[in-house]
Amino acid sequence: MSGKTVNSAILLLVLGNAMALISDVFIKLMEPGAPIFQFAFLRCLITLVFLVPLARKIDLNNLFAGIKVHAVRAHIHLAGLLCMIVALSNLPLATANAVFYAAPILVMVFSVFFFRESLTPLSVFAVFSGFAGIIVILRPVEFNWAAIAALGSALTLAINAVMVRKLPKGQTTVHKLFLNYLLVIPASALLAIWEWQQGATWHPEILLTAAGSALFILGYNITVLLAYRQVDANQVTSAEYTGLIWAVGIGWIWFNEVPDWWFLVGSMMVVVPLVLIGLNQRRKSPARGFNPATREERQAATTEV
């Protein structure tokens, strides 16, 4: 594998993580008290529309293969999206994203309990350092519903990452994404209707916000897919954590959110062990031919123990 190919994949991942952060910015720019269920429904619906031109990647003859697992993952994804909206709306951009990085740590823990995998000493260190880092970032005196929502979003990412292994082999990422958003439309629509009946007014700008968020998160998924088609996941894992750098930069410049020492120390406690695991896998493991493209699949691919 040439260095040029690896560098190209790293560039794609850096750009992809920037697009994921822009998607988060669209959420953070929503007005306080904006109807989050309406936003969630519109983002899911618009993402589904964006996927239609990629329909050739969907196996229409086996469209609903693994429907039970897909349905569970879809609704866990909806819960995670709602938690993410609450977290991004109330926490600094960098803080919320740092907590989201608890997901790969939780994947390691879940893999031990559900797949009887054993943790290496480095993985054990990553788990304890990561959880301690989350505590440092959030600090007990600042623990609130927004912090709980951020942890909830990380938890849903981790659960969905573990459940990737239960999906039918050979399904394309587009197929998985299409079913994920298709199956969640009814529940998200019912929540939006309930929210409207409770007196939530329609905000026309929500449509633009949802479209922007959906477009950039889909762009993220595409760039990651292209990157992992060129190289094995463990060759470029460290590039995934540039998302936190983007979060700090955008939060600082756009929202005047200056990170403090608690955040910097806690983030290092979370991210550095994960980067070391990725580098260790890069040194020891041959190519695996696994092409993660969603955040959940990325967590599963880059945190194997």
Mean pLDDT score, 59-85? 94
Q: Distance between alpha carbon 1 and the CA centroid of its chain, in Å?
A: 28
Please state, in angstroms and rounded to a whole number, the distance separating the CA atoms of residues 152 and 161. 14
Cα separation of 73 and 80, whole Å?
A: 10
Amino acid of residue 209: T
User: Quick one: 170 exposed, middle or buried, by C-beta within 10 A (0-12, 13-18, 19+)?
Assistant: exposed
Give the list of residues 6+ apart from residue 43 with CB closer than 8 angstroms, or none.
81, 210, 213, 214
Domain count, the chain: 1
pLDDT of residue 285: 57
Q: For the chain, what is the radius of gyration of the CA atoms?
A: 19
Give the pTM.
Answer: 0.87
Confidence band for 142, pLDDT divided at 50, 70 and 90? low
Q: Tell me the residue range of the domain where 203 lies.
A: 3-302
Contacts of 240 (CB under 8 A, 6+ apart): 13, 17, 278, 298, 302
Statement: residue 233 has pLDDT above 80: no
Q: 68: burial class by Cβ within 10 Å (0-12, 13-18, 19+)?
A: exposed
Judge whether residue 291 has pLDDT over 50: no
